[in-house]
Amino acid sequence: MRPTATSTAAGAVGRKPALGAATERLEGRDKVTGTARYATEQPHTAPDCAYAWPVPATVAAGRVTAVDASAALALPGTLAVLTPDNAPRVGESDDPILRVLQDHEVPHRGWFVALAVADTLENARAAAAAVTVSYEVRPHDAVLREDHPDAYVPETANGHPGRRERGDAREAFAAAPVRVETSYTIPPLHNHPMEPHASYARWDGDHLTVYDSSQGAHPVRTALAGLFGLEPGRITVVSEHVGGGFGSKGTPRPHVVLAAMAARHTGRPVKLALPRGQMAHVVGYRSPTLHRLRLGAERDGTLTSVEHEMTAQTSRIKEFVEHGAVAARVMYAVPHSLTTHRAVRLDVPSPSWMRAPGEAPSMYALESAMDELATELGMDPIELRLRNEPATEPDSGLPFSSRHLAECLREGARRFGWHQRDPRPGVRREGDVLTGTGVAAATYPVMCDPASASATARPDGTFLVRIDATDIGTGARTVLAQIAADALGVPLDSVAIEIGSTRLPYGPLAGGSAGTASWGWAVHEACTALTRRLADHHGPLPGEGLTAESDTTEAAEATPPFARHAFGASFAEVRVDTVSGEVRVRRMLGVYAAGRILNARTARSQFIGGMTMGLGMALTEHSTSDAAHGGFAERDLASYHVPVNADVPEIDAHWVDEVDTHLNPMGSKGIGEIGIVGTPAAIGNAVHHAIGVRLRELPLTPDKVLAALR
């Protein structure tokens, strides 16, 4: 992509802007040599470090009536067993899942009911296994269904209105000459970052230091401060390198509370890395969602009515409602629209954030339904989408700060060879294999949160930029240094950057594809302020250098009169084996309009990474709510099928130049999540094109495909 010149790149004449370049990750060498240290890998781990191992509840719902730790305490090396009876009391929290071991209730299978602490990892595991927990079991209800009598429409779903209606969608649907009424089902999905949630906690007097695998050190500190009744200044949280999160580390998680409790209780530093088998129940997941859609259109494809109703589950202790019906509020021009979220409280773990929450499920449903409408109309699915491009955001009426979906669709069609496509379904056979192609649109909102940063000019001519940003694999460290270099007008290699610690100026979590915008704005402001200070400064710099700080609270919180979203188009070609029902993707393409792309290399990686997770959502990934026993059946990486290398074909990601002056000084939109959004529908639509049968429940595994082929 051609780097877009902005006022920020005010560098010396002839200096190439750092932004837009395909800069290598600054920490890349540490990661390929194994020297990058993750949460529990600190080189200064104290020799008396203890290990903690949680004990999860083994019933689907009920109460702990007794915890017998005597056998565990009798084992060699056991230091303590924390239980609801003896664990340190903690204060209030906005998040009920953090108040672990504070009472005897068991809201779902896998809820932590004890914690073993021992001198070695082996002893901690053995001690946890030796803890005997007795329960009073109550009947449970752990499976979501649409006709559940307890279903309700929440006021809001993750901040979005629970229900929105414009016009009279039902009447318009009834009157529409062309109608599609359909339903889609998405199973529970788990984030499963490669690094399990983990903490190393240490108390030095009344100062708590935690190295935590988290998407945001400051939010973890805020939570710990409330729970342990400490001034935030007495807590240090470090998240320097984080082995992925995808939303599951976006909020503080119970392991960090347990680690801090165990360290306080034993007086020793404590390492706690969650066993993979415990994660499915305690670190969040994407709720299963059940979708009903009704699309009404004129014969020329003009939409007259859209209804999208989604039903999701939440837990008994916390309301988290996946906002899986929001896409229709953004996507297409339509005079009549009704979008509704429904929730059911069940005896299940609390669902939480997973990559492109809301957009990923809602766009799977909407874009699959649009494909059905195109088929019904006998119209090319790209033409159908172009026919319904809105002039303003349908729900709010606000103008878009920028919207280049049409360009993405057209550019993608050109690159993918869409126009040679034979629209007839089920006719391309290569031996036992049927092939097909599909397309879907993608969208993801632009968000930005307040942040602070500091920038220091050092006497040796280099610069230091400090901000509590988190690099969970996005390349944040690198792109922030690029932003700083351009704002300072200096070469990238003269900029050092420190991130990932509450010792640094406040930055929000890495989430909502908002990190770079939020942190980058603060970095940009600090660096431009420093540039002004340097211009006013005469003579050599003082020993401590010159520092400027920024705080973007006012700017970031100002609501501009624009609807701000990234858009994209996803294309997929699939091969369906008619003997086994196995579906494999042959190639995928994503074309995105996501503002200015700040680092071509890491951006491409983010896009293809999101698309890969979308491939998993379409074809391989699912968790099963265990109706009989509660919890999820798939709790390990052998049964929860994250795509492997062999599942992932040629993937290409491109972007269109997009200049948007209504965002932030960099002109950037988030890119971490939009890759997953259009992919499942594109693949599902391609499977329909291949086999001529519409499958409406993910993932498209051999059982379902084979049934459709028979």
Partner 1 sequence: MSTGTGSGTSSWVTMTVNGVEYRRELDNRTTVLDLLREHLGLTGAKKGCDHGQCGACTVLVDGRRANSCLLPAVAQDGAEVTTVEGLAAGDELHPVQQAFLDRDAFQCGYCTPGQLCSAVGVFAEAAAGHPSHVTDPGRASGQGPVELSRAEIRERMSGNLCRCGAYPNIVAAIEDVTR
Partner 2 sequence: MKPFGYQRPATVEAAVEAFAATPGARYLAGGTNLMDLMKHGVETPAVLVDVSRLPLDAVEELPDGGVRAGATVRNSDLAAHPLVHDRFPVLSQALLAGASGQLRNMATTGGNLLQRTRCGYFQDTSAACNKREPGSGCAARDGVHRDHAVLGHSERCVATHPSDMAVALAALDAVVELYGPEGARTVPVAEFHRLPGEHPERDTVIRPGELITAVTVPGTAAGRPSAYRKARDRASYAFALASVAAVLDTDEDGTVRAVGLAFGGLAHRPWRARLAETALLGQRLTEEAVARAVDAELALAEPLRDNGFKVPLARNLAVHTLSGLAPARSPQRL
Query: Residue 606, interface with partner 1 (CB under 8 A)?
Result: yes
Binding to partner 2 by residue 108, rule CB under 8 A? Answer: no
686 three-class SS: helix
634 contact choice in partner 2, partner 1, none (CB below 5 to 8 Å, kind-dependent): partner 2
- Count CB atoms within 10 A of the CB of residue 158: 16
Q: 113: part of which helix (H) or strand (E)? A: strand 112-118
What is the x/- site pattern for partner 1, positions 468-497, by CB under 8 A? Answer: ----xxxx----------------------
Both tokens of 179, joined, read: 């109608």
Site for partner 1 in 276-305 (CB under 8 A): 276-277
d(CA 333, CA 331): 7
* Angle subtended by helix axes 679-691 and 702-709, to nearest 10: 30
Could you tell me the smallest distance in angstroms from the CB atom of residue 277 to partner 2?
Answer: 8
- Residue 629 as a binder of partner 2 (CB under 8 A): the answer is yes
Which of partner 1, partner 2, none has residue 362 at its interface (CB below 5 to 8 Å by kind)? none
Both structure tokens of 344: 């059911």
With contact defined as beta carbons under 8 Å apart, do 31 and 38 qualify? Answer: no
Instruction: Give per-residue burial for 331-365: e unless 16+ CB within 10 Å, then b.
Output: bbebebbbbbbbbbbbbbbbbbbbbbbbbbbbbbb
The Cα 562–Cα 614 span in angstroms is: 29
- Residue 38 structure tokens: 């993750």
- Picked from partner 1, partner 2, none, the partner binding residue 580 (CB below 5 to 8 A depending on kind) is partner 2
Binding residue count for partner 2, defined by CB under 8 A: 44
Q: Which region among 316-324, 341-349, 370-378, 620-628 touches partner 2 (by CB under 8 A)? A: 620-628
> Of partner 2, partner 1, none, which one does residue 609 interact with (CB within 5 to 8 Å by kind)?
partner 1
Residue 706 in the binding site for partner 2 (CB under 8 A): yes
634 touching partner 2, by CB under 8 A: yes
Q: Which of 420, 539, 644, 710: binder of partner 1 (CB under 8 A)? A: 644
**DSSP 8-class letter at 287:** P
> Which residue among 309, 319, 359, 673 is the active-site one?
673
655 forms part of the interface with partner 1 (CB under 8 A): no
- Comparing CB distances to partner 1, the nearer of 533 and 641 is 641
- In this structure, the number of other CB atoms found within 10 A of the CB of residue 145 comes to 14
Residue among 488 and 698 whose Cβ is closer to partner 2: 698
Binding segment for partner 1 (CB under 8 A), chosen from 121-129, 159-167, 257-265, 566-574, is 121-129
Per-position DSSP letters for 131-168, written without gaps between them: -EEEEEE--------TT-TT-B--SEETTEESEEEES-
Pairing of strands 289-297, 235-238: unpaired
Among residues 160, 154, 98, 111, which one has the least CA distance to residue 314? 154
What's the residue count for the chain? 710
Report if residue 140 touches partner 2, rule: CB under 8 A.
Answer: no
Residue 508 in the binding site for partner 1 (CB under 8 A): no
CA distance 589 to 610: 12
Q: How far is the CB of 663 from partner 1 (least distance, A)?
A: 24
Structure tokens at 451: 């942040």
Catalytic residue flag (residue 673): yes
Site for partner 1 in 136-195 (CB under 8 A): 191-195
| Contact pick of 431, 540, 542, 543 for partner 2 (by CB under 8 A) | 431
In 10 A of CB 292, how many CB atoms?
19
Alpha carbons 81 and 128: distance in angstroms, whole number:
8
- Classify residue 616 by its DSSP letter: I
Residue whose CB is less far from partner 1, 406 or 608: 608
Is residue 389 close enough to count as binding partner 2 by CB under 8 A? no
Peptide bond into 699 cis (omega under 30): yes
Select the span of 217-225, 305-313, 326-334, 632-640 touching partner 2 (CB under 8 A): 632-640
Q: Does 414 bind partner 1 (CB under 8 A)?
A: no
Query: With respect to partner 2, which residue has the nearer C-beta, 639 or 661?
Result: 639
Nearer to partner 1, 50 or 303 (CB): 50
Q: Which of 328, 326, 327, 289 is nearest to 311 (CA)?
A: 289
Q: List the x/- string, 37-76, binding to partner 1 by CB under 8 A.
A: xx--x-x---------------------------------
**Among 635, 669, 688, 689, contact with partner 2 (rule: CB under 8 A):** 635
Distance CA 37, CA 31 (A): 9
Choose the binding region for partner 1 from 21-29, 140-148, 286-294, 655-663 (rule: CB under 8 A): 21-29
Is 70 an interacting residue with respect to partner 2 (CB under 8 A)?
A: no
Backbone angles phi, psi at 323, to 5 degrees: -90, 65
What single letter denotes the amino acid at residue 512?
Answer: G
Binder of partner 2 out of 641, 654, 662, 694 (CB under 8 A): 641
Q: Residue 703 interacts with partner 2 (CB under 8 A)?
A: yes
Q: How far is the CB of 446 from partner 1 (least distance, A)?
A: 22
Which one of the spans 336-344, 427-435, 566-574, 641-649 is the region binding partner 1 (CB under 8 A)?
641-649
Q: Beta strands 303-315 and 336-346: pairing type?
A: parallel
In this complex, which beta carbon is closest to partner 1, that of residue 32 or of residue 391?
A: 32
Tokens (6 digits) for 494? 């003269």
The residue ranges of DSSP E strands in 163-287, in sequence order, are 163-166, 178-186, 198-204, 207-212, 235-238, 270-273
| Residue 638 binds partner 2, judged by CB under 8 A | yes
Instruction: Compute how many other C-beta atoms are within 10 angstroms of the C-beta atom of residue 204.
Output: 10
Give the up-direction half-sphere exposure of residue 571: CA atoms within 13 A in the CB hemisphere. Answer: 26
The footprint of partner 2 (CB under 8 A) covers 58, 76, 122, 125-126, 129, 277, 430-433, 575, 577, 579-582, 584, 619-620, 624, 626-629, 633-635, 638-639, 641, 643-647, 699, 701-704, 706-707, 710
The footprint of partner 1 (CB under 8 A) covers 24-25, 27-38, 41, 43, 120-123, 126, 191-196, 241-244, 246, 273, 275-277, 472-475, 601-602, 604-606, 608-613, 636-638, 642-646, 648, 650-651
Question: Which residues does the annotation mark as catalytic?
Answer: 673
